[in-house]
A = this chain, B = another copy of it.
Amino acid sequence: MSRQFNMSGPIEISQACVDDPFWSAEQELVRTAVLPYQWRALNDKVPGASPSYCMHNFRAAAALNKRLNGQEGSGDFQPPTYTNQGFHCLPEDPDHPDPDKFYGYVFQDTDFSKWVEAVGYSLAHHPDADLERLADGAIDIVCAAQLDSGYLDTYYILNGMNRHFTNLKDHHELYCLGHLIEGAIAYYQGTGKTKLLHAAERFADYVAATFGPGDNQLHGYPGHEIAEMALIRLYETTGIKRYLDLAAYFVNQRGTSPLYFEQEDRQRAAYEHADFTIDDSRPAPYAYYQAHEPVAQQRQAVGHAVRAGYLYAGAADVARLTEDPALNEAVHAVWRDIVDKKLYVTGGVGADADAESHSYAYDLPNDTGYCETCASVAMVFFARRMLQLDPRSEYADVMELALYNTVLDGMAMDGKSFFYGNPLEVRPQTKRNKDPRYSYVPIVRKRWFGCACCPPNLARLVESVQDYAYTLAEDGSTLFVHLYIGGRIQADLGEGSIELRVQSELPWKGRIRLEVEASSDGRTTLALRLPSWAGGDAAADAVTVHTGQGSSNAISRRLEQGYLYLSGPWKQGDRIDIDFDMPVRVVAANPLVSQDAGKVAVTRGPMVYCAEERDNGANLHLLHLDGSALSGDASRVKVEPFIFQAGAYLDDPQAEGHVDTVSRSMVRLQVPAWREPAEGADTAPLYRQWQPVRRMPTTATLIPYFAWSNRGENEMRVFLDVD
């Protein structure tokens, strides 16, 4: 692998800030609505919501720890009797949980870690003494729960340490480690405080001693990945190579023969005197965990889509830092498999709701597709790691697509309710009739989830979105601009530094301005992404450089893999003006996607659009975009700025689907269309002699996908018939 020149790393959170009409609103929602709500949720203080028991568990573990002076208890592991398969434990009397018992999901500790991560990002740019005091108090409790050995997972601390690390496949201890590291680093970067970071390091040290190739070590790896990329981040933060080695071990050991999870399953069955059978409900056992074959040999994206995305992100990190050509080939192949065969037009992944998993090639159902919010978060992680390996605009295109659509769709306009899954087509009658085929398909957002992975995952990503906008080449020569988000960026270059002010009218207009606010001496390259929605390489013509000398001749221009490299002696006052074309695009899927045959999606810039019943009436399957009007080009579509009025009122404002009044500027599309009439259909026969359909001309009103389901329960479609 000789791509060293092109490798890049992220900017530290404190070096970039957001000041952007679109993204500041999202961050503000997270800061003012999500973080306080999440804190109450962690402490089981949200009326009507499934209790988290997260802080309860840390308190219980801290109390036990105090009694035992930080040592492991000597008692045998007692799997909770009040549990559903050891996975979700609920108190027998919900009003009186036992203060000494573990409750919630086995991975419930991560609720804290994800919250403190978002808090760390927020504090980096919005100092808030009350919030910081709250977080410090929580950190004290969490750290008090840590054993002297460094181990820190309340499920085993409370239920019996003698069985810890015996069910890596499903019991998420290493997942808890990963999230703890991510949270600790963010809090350290946001506040400079090291207490939680040291706790995370101690847990990581314990794991590094326990896992590895040594005879006395366990040869296992996480059942739910994330530790891989977290350990890389810990390595990049601390410089301690042990963490890189452990990440590399986890990635390279995964799926090697004999399969660790199969051995573990056999041993656990023997211990429990239970039968061992291989789960053959899927084509490849353990593919759900991406642990069916060595990662370096994997070519297809399989299994649980969040696990998969986290693994691929971690593997790309390891490939980059260990310069491993086999791993590099694997992540590139898996990326292609996703983007060419398994990615929804919205940036969603994971078509198979039953297993929250990638489905097979070209299987992209619109109505039952899962598209978990977290899976799109994971795709953003993966895409940025691919950019770090290899700056091609394709990666940033997908990253941007997922961010603006499936990620943001996860949160209501008022920041108070959330989607776990993000379907491309819903009909409320599936819910009214409790149709089991659609049991995973939400029609409106929920306040919270017992398994609350998505809201805090979205929160931590939105609060750190600037981290995905930029990377810096390893040699400090090039600052890559992947996303155009207003704000400031200060980057330490090889031979100095540069500071930019960015103004952006995205996602509604293609106008962007980058101003050099400060620059040290030396030749610097700014590599600007040319989005595919703006025409790819052709969009370079939309980029104009104004240098302080009144001429930009000193700045060289070079196009490579979808980036415009502008190199030269950048000076304070230099300016780049961009006016990307933002045409409406009418997009068809590959003919092998049977679910999209005869249909199109409409996009503009990074936004994917959808039709809601609220604007277009019911029975959206009878709404057709007018193919003859659209053929050739999409110029007959009217692009219309408007004020979106969110709000859905229910008697109980805590109920599913309630959205407070929010107004937000957006752009909607008015598309020539026709409708098949359905008057009298409910009294007409079920079958009739076919005749060409009578076309009633109309206009389809399309709104940005992320805004749907903010005006009450109604039908929605992304893919619409065209003819």
Could you list which residues of chain A lie within 8 angstroms of chain B, going by C-beta atoms? 281-283, 339-341, 343, 345, 352, 354-355, 359-360, 363, 365, 368, 427, 429, 432-437, 585-594, 597-598, 600-601, 619, 621-622, 627, 630-631, 676-678, 681-682, 684-692, 721-723
Contacts and interface: CB of A to CB of B under 8 A. Distances in A.
30 contacts: A282-B434, A283-B434, A339-B686, A352-B436, A355-B436, A359-B433, A359-B435, A360-B429, A360-B435, A363-B429, A363-B435, A437-B437, A585-B689, A587-B688, A587-B689, A588-B688, A588-B689, A590-B685, A591-B619, A591-B622, A591-B681, A592-B619, A593-B686, A597-B621, A597-B622, A597-B676, A598-B598, A598-B721, A600-B690, A601-B687
> Nearest 7 A-B pairs (CB), nearest first?
A588-B690, A594-B621, A354-B436, A586-B690, A360-B433, A597-B621, A591-B678
Contacts of A345: 687
A373 to B, nearest CB: 21
Contacts of A360: 429, 433, 435
B283 A433 contact: yes
Contacts of A682: 592
A630 B591 contact: no
Nearest to A678: B591
B437 A691 contact: no
Contacts of A600: 690
A437 B441 CA distance: 13
Contacts of A343: 686
A594 B428 CA distance: 13
A603 to B, nearest CB: 9
B433 A722 contact: no
B281 A434 contact: yes
A621 B437 CA distance: 22
Contacts of A435: 352, 359-360, 363
Contacts of A436: 281, 352, 354-355
A601, A685, A690 — which one has the most chain B CB atoms within 10 A of its CB? A690
A177 B433 CA distance: 34
A360 B432 CA distance: 10
A277 B622 CA distance: 41
Nearest to A343: B686
A674 to B, nearest CB: 13
Contacts of A585: 689
B722 A686 contact: no
Contacts of A723: 598, 723
Contacts of A677: 591
Given A283-B434, A601-B687, A723-B723, 12 more contacts: A341-B686, A359-B433, A363-B435, A586-B689, A588-B690, A590-B686, A590-B688, A593-B686, A627-B692, A631-B691, A631-B692, A690-B722
A345 B363 CA distance: 26
A678 B590 CA distance: 9
Nearest to A675: B591
Contact of A437 (B368, B589, B593, B676): B368
A526 to B, nearest CB: 29
A434 B586 CA distance: 33
A686 B597 contact: no
Contacts of A686: 339-341, 343, 589-590, 593
A363 B434 CA distance: 13
A718 to B, nearest CB: 12
Contacts of A676: 591, 597
A590 B684 contact: yes
Nearest to A281: B434
A501 to B, nearest CB: 34
Nearest to A715: B594
Contacts of A434: 281-283
Contacts of A341: 686
Contacts of A352: 435-437
A600 B685 CA distance: 15
A281 to B, nearest CB: 6
A594 B281 contact: no
A420 B428 CA distance: 30
A341 to B, nearest CB: 6
Given A283-B434, A437-B437, A721 B597 contact: yes
Nearest to A601: B687
A19 to B, nearest CB: 33
A705 to B, nearest CB: 15
Contacts of A587: 687-690
Contacts of A592: 619, 678, 681-682
A334 to B, nearest CB: 15
A538 B622 CA distance: 33
Nearest to A623: B597
Contacts of A359: 433, 435
Contacts of A432: 283
Contacts of A590: 681, 684-688
A687 B589 contact: yes
Contacts of A339: 686
Contacts of A597: 621-622, 676, 721
A690 B599 CA distance: 9
A585 B688 CA distance: 9
Contacts of A690: 586-588, 600, 630, 722
Contacts of A591: 619, 622, 676-678, 681
Nearest to A282: B434
A433 B343 CA distance: 18
A511 B356 CA distance: 56
Nearest to A364: B686
Nearest to A683: B340
A246 to B, nearest CB: 34
Contacts of A687: 345, 587-590, 601
